[in-house]
């Protein structure tokens, strides 16, 4: 899994430069050379901090006039993405959990019926990724996900 923050370290390595120490991310250059990276992310953080207020479409006609209106109505959220699952916590306290092996299009939210301990593990990892910085983020992304599989 790769992220936008990987672009700067990748470009720096390709240019023969070292990125500044405050730059997050990992170089993807080894992948360009057919090599495997030293470590592999097991989880990534996805965030939406704010959406446009008052932009929820009132009708289908409004939605067709502004195709992005429905997307603008999404409340702020944080999500954890793993190779097998997506877990989302909205600012509204709603939660979503998708088993990507069984539901790759994320149509069946299984959060309500999931084992509460499983949901808590996802929530704890999400909080760790949301609050980390620097090398701590790399450790949080790479940590084994034992028990994170959805039965």
In the chain, where the domains are located: 1-38, 41-142
**Cα 79 to the center of its chain, rounded Å:** 5
CATH tag, 41-142: 3.30.1120
Handedness of CA 99, 103, 105, 110 (dihedral sign): negative
Strand partners, 90: 77
From the DSSP assignment, how many helices (H) and strands (E) are in the chain?
6, 4
Predicted confidence pLDDT, tens digits, the chain (151 residues): 888 888 999 999 999 999 888 888 888 899 889 988 777 788 999 998 875 554 444 445 555 666 666 656 788 999 999 989 999 999 999 999 999 999 999 999 999 999 999 999 999 999 999 998 777 888 888 887 765 565 5
Supply the pTM of this predicted model: 0.76
């Amino acid at each position: 899994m790769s992220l936008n923050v990987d672009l700067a370290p990748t470009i720096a390595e390709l240019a023969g430069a070292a990125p500044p120490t405050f730059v997050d991310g990992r170089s993807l250059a080894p992948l360009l050379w057919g090599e495997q990276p030293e470590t592999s992310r097991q989880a990534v953080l996805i965030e939406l901090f704010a959406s446009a207020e008052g932009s929820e479409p009132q009708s289908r006609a409004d939605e067709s006039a502004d195709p992005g209106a429905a997307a603008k109505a999404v409340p702020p959220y944080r999500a954890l993405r793993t190779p097998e699952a997506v877990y989302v916590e909205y600012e509204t306290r709603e939660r979503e959990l998708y088993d990507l092996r069984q539901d790759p299009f994320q149509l069946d939210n299984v959060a309500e019926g999931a084992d509460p301990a499983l949901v808590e593990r996802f929530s704890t990892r999400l909080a760790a990724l949301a609050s980390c910085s620097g090398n701590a983020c790399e450790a949080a992304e790479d940590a084994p996900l034992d028990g994170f599989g959805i039965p």
